[in-house]
Structure 1
Amino acid sequence: MSSFILGVDLGTTSVKAVLLDAASRAVADGHSLPTVADLSDDGGIKAKEQHTGRIVDTLNRCMSHLPREKLQHVRSVGVTGQMHGIVFWKEKSGCDWSNGDVFTAGDASQLITWQDGRCSGDFLSSLPPPDSHIGTATGFGCATVFWYLKHRPEFLRDFTAAGTIQDYVVSMLCGLDGCVMTPQNAASWGFFNTSSNQWNENTLRSAGFPVHLLPRIAPSGGVAGKTRSVWHGVPAGTPVGAALGDFQCSVYSCMSARTDAVLNIGTSAQLTFAMPADFTPPGSPQPDSPVAYYPYFDSSFLAVAASLNGGNAVATFAEMLTAWMTELGAEQLGDSSLYEKLIHCALDQDAGDLQVTPTVLGERHAPLRLGRVTNISASGLSLGRVVRALCRGVLANVAAMMPGERLRAAGVTRIVGNGSALARNEVLRQEAARAFPQPVVYAQNADSAAGVAMVLCDRGI
């Protein structure tokens, strides 16, 4: 039988696992499930947390849907997931392997996600300046640690390790002491210098930061360890790659030439292209710039317009309608059914003069920005027209952050689209074609789970 590479993506709303045929680089099997892990009670601090145990349970259920006879021939495991967020755990007891070949979450905190809003602008401005070209924002791991250090220092004393959710899973699969993290995830935490590939330890230590929680750094595309036990049929001793960022893996799955840009719209939205091999990022953060530079592979960088407002803007609109129907006592539709009806009613509609700016979550370069609706007329408020304007606004916002002219100057000749929201929403795809002068094409089997498996395959792991 062929050998396979297992790729796992621990996303914001779902978990996906795929089996990549190592010989053909084709996806042979895969399964995805929603996590339903969001926690609602934030105590009024604008917290966004997810239940770590539910994420791990969803991963186990995804694995149980893959053919065991193929899992027994997995030669390596790649793990990716949502960036910026942080999980804390206790070494040696961070998970429980007593249930056969399934591990469950043990002494671990909830996941504080990239959407977390507890760090206000005033709080962030009180932190020491990072020695990095990437600034610090709410939802970044190091900023969250600083918040706990100020508001709940006793919480930090309960844990001995920390990482992203994908780092946690890698550590549990391999039985690692502490956490191993790649520059891709480290940069997403802040206070990490991508030129030296080192944490700003002196700066952090001087500010009282618990530096023992900082993960060890391993190369992006390298191995973190080996599976400590049989896992759903995957043999013990199987190499596990150090966890990668879901954005970089998504790009890797579909950027076939340096003249490609990649438009990813899932929960959030990103538009990116590869910088020249000799590119060096700025020496300090550029907080007002809508374009950042993310570490990729082999010391290269991606220019990224990363918007906080993507598919979640459409989902927020759907949630608003559901809340209104509840208040009116109207018959309810399921979430997926309502979403499909909204897209269907907008397919043949034009937005007219109606304009929706969907920045309801602000942007990292403009955190106080709010959404707005303009050019409202009595005859232009059909549901289909509003949905069309909303989808147009999502793309217009990304295009304003990284205009087509900048793409052209960088040598970009086409845009490759991927992401769950683009796959699900035909109106977003229509608006993507309208928003940019470059043609927009769509790759097959392009996603983060496939991308992380491709990384290991191409490196012979």
Structure 2
Amino acid sequence: MAARPVTLGIDLGTTSVKAALLGAASGDPSEFVVLASCARAARAEVAAESSAAGPQGREQDVSRIVQALNECIAALPRQQLRNVGGIGVSGQMHGVMFWKTGQGCEWTEGGAAPLFEPRAVSHLVTWQDGRCSSGFLASLPQPESHLSVATGFGCATIFWLLKNRPEFLKSYDAAGTIHDYVVAMLCGLPRPLMSDQNAASWGYFNTQSQSWNSEILKGSGFPVHLLPDIAEPGSVAGGTSHVWLEIPKGTPVGVAMGDLQASVYSCMAQRTDAGLEVEESTVYSRMIQAAVQQKDTCLTITPTVLGERHLPDELASVTRISSSDLSLGHVTRALCRGIVQNLHSMLPFQQLQEWGVERVMGSGSALSRNEVLKQEVQRAFPLPVAFGQDVDAAVGAALIMLQKNLHQKS
């Protein structure tokens, strides 16, 4: 009896790379099991002094990200890799990197484990990049989009490079997110493909017409030839052009999707669920323990140190300070409450009620590891709240590909 095909999910996050192997538990596409998973820290941050944008720049070394990816895949069971029948990919949104078509990577052949290594690529300018000031953003053309353009958005970064480093852009003829790049390299695509999720995160993309604001961009001298072609997230971008660490050549690879969407998809069991994603952060156990004991506080912390994309000038603050509210427990409780209240201000409970949402699903490693954040979510959202177990974007990316394959066969 032939082994049942499995699906590989990959998530290229801001700090780490994750991979998960999923198999259908039965003929029902909604039932699956995680067969194996792996995570590796990317450690890809580039020193600020190495960035042309100076201290405001946030860039990552693509070679280190791909190295972590190869290590992740190599750590998975070899026999299960041989049975991979589809690959789903997700990753950090908004960011942009550049490469030379046909020269973006090199495959090592002849060894026991063929893999690819980046060549002729730029650094990845991440979503955290702050090179585009408010004044610079105000000088850009108004987009036809449901989103305003913010620093860290791919198109804003390209505009900045066009003004400050025009020669740099002439070295490349393709651009995309880090996960678009990986899909293009795995499949040997002549042009990168991008999902509407990632395109919207770049700015200057109309989700209704599913098209770039090409005429607006051309009018400002924007290099529109760098913009990827648009495809449905999770649809097949192509097949692997080489054997990749035991994964067969010709394995279907899905168009890359956003990590937020993949994370939410992995833990939503019902259509009436609302996904709540908390960005991964380091929270010390002593702080959490102290805050668990400190049930309430009058201290108020607004945690937007970097501002928000829709309010870039509204920075962090601490108010209602008193001598009785300065303990570790008070400060940590106030910080966790501020994080959740900031999320609630962008998606209020009343709006969820209007949409008919009946349950909130909480996911993200910062949330799953922090009991205080969980308590504050339950305080802010007076709905049943469920916290996902072992859910992440890699699982979501694999699940979407798995369900598409099962639907096509049924």
- 5+ unaligned residues in a row in structure 1: which ranges? 268-310, 319-338
Question: What SS does the aligned partner of 1:347 have?
Answer: helix
Higher relative contact order (CA 8 A, sep 6+): 2
- What percentage of aligned pairs have identical amino acids? 54
Query: Which of 51, 59, 65 lines up with 2:69 in the alignment?
Result: 59
The CA deviation at 1:370 is 0.9
Question: How far 1:340 moved relative to its partner?
Answer: 2.2
Q: What's the CA shift for 1:256?
A: 2.2
Counterpart residue type for residue 362 of structure 1: G
Deviations 1:70-91 (A, max 9, x none): 0000001111001110010011
The 5 A counterparts of 1:259-278 are 259-267=272-280
Correspondence 1:410-421 to 2 at 5 A: 410-421=355-366
Q: What corresponds to 1:230 in structure 2? A: 243
For residue 220 of structure 1, what is the aligned residue in structure 2?
A: 233
Look up the equivalent residue of 1:426 and give its one-letter code.
E
Aligned length in residues: 393
- Quick check: 1:191 aligned with 2:204? yes
Corresponding residue to 1:81 among 77, 91, 106: 91
- What per-residue deviation string (whole Å, max 9, x for no partner) do you get for residues 111-152 of structure 1? 101111111111111111112222211111111100000000
- Give the aligned partner of residue 122 of structure 2: 109
**What is the distance in 1 between the residues matched to 2:135 and 2:127?**
19
Partner of 2:15: 13
- Answer yes or no: is the 8 Å Cα contact 1:27–1:445 preserved in 2: no
Deviates more, 1:158-167 or 1:89-98: 89-98
Q: Tell me, in whole angstroms, the C-alpha distance in 2 between the residues paired with 1:108 and 1:425.
A: 38
How many angstroms apart in 2 are the aligned matches of 1:227 and 1:136? 34
Contact 1:96–1:105 (8 Å) recurs in 2: yes
For the aligned residue pairs, the C-alpha RMSD in angstroms reads 1.4
Which position in structure 2 is the counterpart of 1:50?
60
Q: Deviations over 1:362-405 (max 9, x none)?
A: 01111001111111111221112211111111011111222212
Structure 2 residue ranges without an equivalent (≥5): 27-31
Deviation at 1:23, TM superposition (A): 4.3
Which segment drifts farther, 40-49 or 223-232? 40-49
TM-superposed deviation, 1:210: 0.9
User: Which of 265, 271, 285 pairs up with 1:258?
Assistant: 271
Residue number in structure 2 paired with 1:455: 400
**What CA deviation, in whole Å up to 9, does each residue of 1:324-348 have, x standing for no partner?**
xxxxxxxxxxxxxxx2222223221
Kindly provide the CA deviation profile for residues 182-224 of structure 1, in whole angstroms up to 9, marking residues without a partner as x: 1111111111111121111111112111111011111222111
- What letter corresponds to residue 142 of structure 2 in structure 1? P
Q: TM-score, normalised by structure 2?
A: 0.93
Q: Distance in 2 between matches of 1:212 and 1:95?
A: 20
Q: Distance in 1 between matches of 2:389 and 2:329?
A: 29
Contact in 2 for aligned 1:80/1:246 (Cα 8 Å): yes
| Counterpart residue identity of residue 381, structure 2 | F
Q: For 1:232, what is the secondary structure of its paired residue?
A: coil
Structure 2 counterpart of 1:280: none
**What SS class does the counterpart of residue 204 from structure 1 fall into?**
helix
Q: In structure 2, give the amino acid aligned to 1:447.
A: D
Aligned partner of 2:304: which letter? T
C-alpha distance in structure 2 between counterparts of 1:367 and 1:236, whole Å? 46
2:320 maps to amino acid? N
SS in 2 for 1:195: coil
Give, in whole Å, the separation in 2 of the partners of 1:343 and 1:220.
38
Offset of residue 426 of structure 1: 1.6
TM-score, structure 1 as length reference: 0.83
CA contact (8 A) 1:351 1:386 kept: no
Distance 2:365 2:401 in 1: 23
CA distance in 1 between counterparts of 2:11 and 2:77 reads 18
Out of 373, 393, 398, the position equivalent to 1:428 is 373
The alpha carbon displacement at 1:443 in A equals: 2.5
Partners in 1 of 2:237 and 2:351 — Cα distance? 37
Q: Which residue type is aligned with residue 141 of structure 1?
A: G
SS at 2:344 equivalent: helix
